[in-house]
Amino acid sequence: PGPRPLLLLLPWLGARPAAQGKYLQLYLACGFDVLAVESTLSHFLCPRQGLRWAAHVLALLQGPGALASRPLVVHALSLGGYTFAQMLLLMGQDLGRHGSVAQRLKGHIFDSLVVGSLDRMALGVSQLMKPQALGPVVRATAMFYFHLCPSCTIRHYEAAVAAFQQPPVRPPTLVYYSLDDPLCDSACLQELLAAWQRLGMPVWVQAWETSRHAAHLRQHPLEYSSTLATFLGRLGLVAPAARL
């Protein structure tokens, strides 16, 4: 047998260890090792810090060390998708440097992506903050900051979004979302999925009429886990009959 596949878990902002553990259990049961990489509010509000963090994650994955040479799958939830967009941006800028990571990427899983306007991104940050009473203040502050320093923020966000829409690596992708998610513009998400398919990316979707942002696993555990098992089977990284 080859090396154990590696799952890079990019959780939502402020995800508690117990909540992350539910996802770890899914992948550990399938023979994956898991690297969970958390992001902070500063990585989002200060994109240069976010880029440095993304570069650090890429360096970890490139080795030397136990993380190098493994088949790699990325599972990004909510604003964890922004961290991965930063990684894609860096890969696209220097594939020679990051080629080993790009070649090992076998699949992407995106859950509760924050898609749409900059205001929706600010809303995403504010709703994921603890305590939630600070949410409106954080949202207003974030929007003020975005427009006060567009060269430091908006330009970087636009570059990251472009890298996400036209990714330098295009493996099979699974997307979880709900139609009632206030942090995701469904029309914009459909445009993104169609753009990926035009690029030749195989895309599968698990959608719900009603669910909760970044809590689909908790609200729909059987559908979530069976869809994931089927997807991993398509990648050849777990037997299709596996039960998570």
pLDDT in tens, 162-182: 999 999 999 999 999 999 998
Pair 27, 34: CB distance under 8 Å: yes
Q: Name the pLDDT band for 243 (thresholds 50, 70, 90).
A: very low
Domain locations along the chain: 6-234
Residue bearing the bigger pLDDT, 239 or 48: 48
Q: Name the pLDDT band for 73 (thresholds 50, 70, 90).
A: very high
**Which residues, other chains included, contact 177 with Cβ-Cβ below 8 Å and sequence gap of 6+?**
111, 112, 113, 184, 186, 189, 205, 206, 207, 208
Calculate the alpha carbon distances from 150 to 1, 82, 115, 131 in Å.
Answer: 50, 18, 19, 28
| Percent residues over pLDDT 70 in the chain | 82
- 57: pLDDT strictly greater than 70: yes
Exposure string of 108-130, with b = 16+ CB inside 10 Å and e = fewer, is bbbbbbbbbebeebbbbbbbbbe
Scanning the structure block, which residue is given the tokens 């992506």? 113
Residue 228's Cβ-side half-sphere holds a number of Cα atoms within 13 Å equal to 25
Superfamily of domain 6-234: Alpha/Beta hydrolase fold, catalytic domain (3.40.50.1820)
Pair 99, 168: CB distance under 8 Å: no
- 147: pLDDT strictly greater than 80: no
Helices 118-127, 135-148: crossing angle, 10 deg rounding: 150
Residue bearing the bigger pLDDT, 49 or 150: 49
Q: Name the pLDDT band for 133 (thresholds 50, 70, 90).
A: low
Q: What is the mean pLDDT of residues 20-47?
A: 91
Stretch among 28-42, 43-57, 197-211, 227-241 having the lowest mean pLDDT:
227-241
Scanning the structure block, which residue is given the tokens 């190098």? 68
